[in-house]
Amino acid sequence: VDDDEAARLSIAQMLMLRGFTVESFSSAETTLAWPGLRDAACVVCDVKMPGLDGEEFLAEAKRRDPAAMVILITGHGDVPMAVRCLKAGAYDFVEKPFEDEVLLASVGRAVERAELQRESKELRRQLQLLPPIELGAFGMIGRSRLMQELWEQIEIAARSAAPVLIVGETGTGKELVARAIHGRSDRSGRPFVAVNAGGLPESMVESELFGHVRGAFTGADAKREGRLVTASGGTLLLDEVECISASAQVKLLRVLEDGEVYPLGTDRLRKVDVRLLATTKIDLKEQVRLDLMREDFFHRIMVLSITVPPLRQRREDIPLLTAHFLKSAAARNGIAVPEIPEETLSRLLQCDWPGNVRELRNSVERMVITARKGVAGPFTADQEGEGGRLISLPPSSGRLRDEMERTEKHVIEMALRESGGRLSTACLALGISRRALYERMKKYALKKEEYRD
Ligand SMILES: Nc1ncnc2c1ncn2[C@@H]1O[C@H](COP(=O)(O)OP(=O)(O)OP(=O)(O)O)[C@@H](O)[C@H]1O
Ligand SMILES: [Mg+2]
């Protein structure tokens, strides 16, 4: 906003060259009358103008929206006025004459800040949208497209009796998915038994799964029923299936093919009818390639496979999950649901969540426990790995990655549209391999069918 046309045009042009979308006005009055003002991320306004001046514009803009971002261009040396403007809520002031870079830097910061404010406002709005949307019960919360697709896959798996491999990073909800498959299947009234192959010594896994007779090995003082027998008629969840030894793999194959279990130390078989679900965090194909997993076992357990997306690929679900965990943690601790400060909200949205939903749940629990006077405590990420390294990334890198992902998705969508959903053409246009394209389409939940012409 500047009454001096030459100045106005040159500032507008400079900002546009840097990729900002710019509207320019010759007076404060016309600016205030512009309906788009509400959505402007930032206003750059000259102070000395006929009619309403910059200070008056600032006052009115702030009255309409206390979060409005206004940068004032002030005359050289007018310190008292600059101070007044800042006190009145100006985001910044730039002294004339100024270097382009000085104004650009200020506008860049203001726009970023406005974006954050917008995000956390949205988050706050969504937090109030309680109760959160639960997908088909089973405590699974989320309404992102990826979660809806996950739910569809669960329904498909529930209708079948085939083994399902559930793949996903730690804390993404693999166990919830397994319980939902069982719960939606016709075995739902019967047992759901989980065995964690990674949490038990190799020798114990077999006796746990297949059971043993008394004296089968040193320490086997009493007979033990295998979990496969306990689960018979129902579903067995084999967690961290990559930890299953080769000999247990052979035995499991027999269970899957013929429904036969041989408890350790006896030839007397038990007939069982078990639906097997398995989870893994790693690429099992690689395990097969490295000879760590039998190929026949691998193919048998992944008749169906479901990938549970990491939280950072479905950030839209963060507000819902936060609201959900906030409520339940507050109830558990017997306090009222605390308020979350603006800054904490935007950090939750930007965090990369290496520990996924579990980490978000833990973080929210900590915020509730450390709440003071109805205000949630600070956000701290889980410490992961050796050395207790804090994984949470500085906000800027998360934002950059988001930006890059958005762009990547956009470019791929364009290629798909232009090729009418023909992947070979799209690969050529993008200059990437078919496999790379597949991976990205999966990541961004793009379906070639939607681009058919
Ligand atoms: N969509 C969701 N909605 C609500 N809670 C969820 C969701 N996904 C996961 N959780 C919660 O997060 C925690 C971790 O989930 P779960 O144990 O299913 O993850 P996992 O993938 O099996 O993890 P791990 O790989 O460490 O075994 C649980 O408390 C679970 O209830
Ligand atoms: Mg698990």
What does the pLDDT profile of the chain (453 residues) look like in tens digits? 999 999 999 999 999 999 999 999 999 999 999 999 999 999 999 999 999 999 999 999 999 998 899 999 987 778 888 888 888 999 999 998 899 999 999 999 999 888 877 777 766 666 554 444 555 567 888 888 899 899 999 999 999 999 999 999 999 999 999 999 999 999 999 999 999 998 888 878 999 999 998 888 888 888 889 999 999 999 999 999 999 999 999 999 999 999 999 999 888 889 999 999 999 999 999 999 989 899 999 999 989 999 999 999 998 888 889 988 998 999 999 999 898 887 788 788 888 899 999 999 999 999 999 999 988 988 887 764 323 333 333 344 455 567 667 778 887 888 888 888 888 888 777 777 788 888 889 989 998 888 887
Pocket test for ligand 1, best of 357, 359, 360, 382 (most atoms within 8 A of CB): 357
Report in angstroms the alpha-carbon separations of 398 from 45, 119, 347, 395: 31, 14, 10, 5
Tokens representing 397?
């890198």
Quote the CA–CA distance of 43 and 326 in Å, as a whole number. Answer: 36
pLDDT at 394: 38
Ligand at minimal distance from the CA of 169 is 1
- Which residue puts its alpha carbon closest to atom 18 of ligand 1? 173
Ligand at minimal distance from the CA of 172 is 1
Q: Map residue 299 onto helix, strand or coil.
A: helix
User: Could you identify the residue written with the tokens 């979660």?
Assistant: 147
Helix (H) / strand (E) containing 181:
helix 174-184
Instruction: Please count the CA atoms within 13 angstroms of the CA of 191 that sit on its side-chain side.
Output: 16
Quote the CA–CA distance of 42 and 228 in Å, as a whole number. Answer: 63
Among 375, 379, 370, 330, CA closest to 350: 379
pLDDT at 104: 94
**What is the CA(316)–ligand 2 centre distance, in A?**
23
Q: Map residue 389 onto helix, strand or coil.
A: strand
Residues 6+ apart with CB under 8 A from 180: 136, 138, 140, 154, 158
pLDDT at 50: 93
Report in angstroms the alpha-carbon separations of 165 from 45, 123, 175, 193, 415: 59, 34, 11, 16, 32
**What is the CA(276)–ligand 2 centre distance, in A?**
15
User: Could you identify the residue written with the tokens 């200020």?
Assistant: 106
Helix (H) / strand (E) containing 436:
helix 434-443
pLDDT at 77: 74
**Ligand 1 atom at minimum distance from 168 CA:** 21
- Do 126 and 320 touch, CB atoms closer than 8 A? yes
The per-residue pLDDT for range 6-40, each reduced to its tens digit, is: 999 999 999 999 999 999 999 999 999 999 999 99
| Residues facing residue 194 across a β-bridge | 237
Distance of CA 241 to the CA centre of its chain: 25
Distance of CA 336 to the CA centre of its chain: 27
Ligand 1 is surrounded, with C-beta below 6 A, by 139-142, 168, 170-176, 281, 321, 357-358, 361
Quote the CA–CA distance of 452 and 450 in Å, as a whole number. Answer: 6
pLDDT at 127: 59
pLDDT at 385: 36
pLDDT at 354: 92
Tokens representing 120?
């956390």
The per-residue pLDDT for range 200-252, each reduced to its tens digit, is: 888 789 999 999 988 888 888 888 899 999 999 999 999 999 999 999 999 99
pLDDT at 342: 74
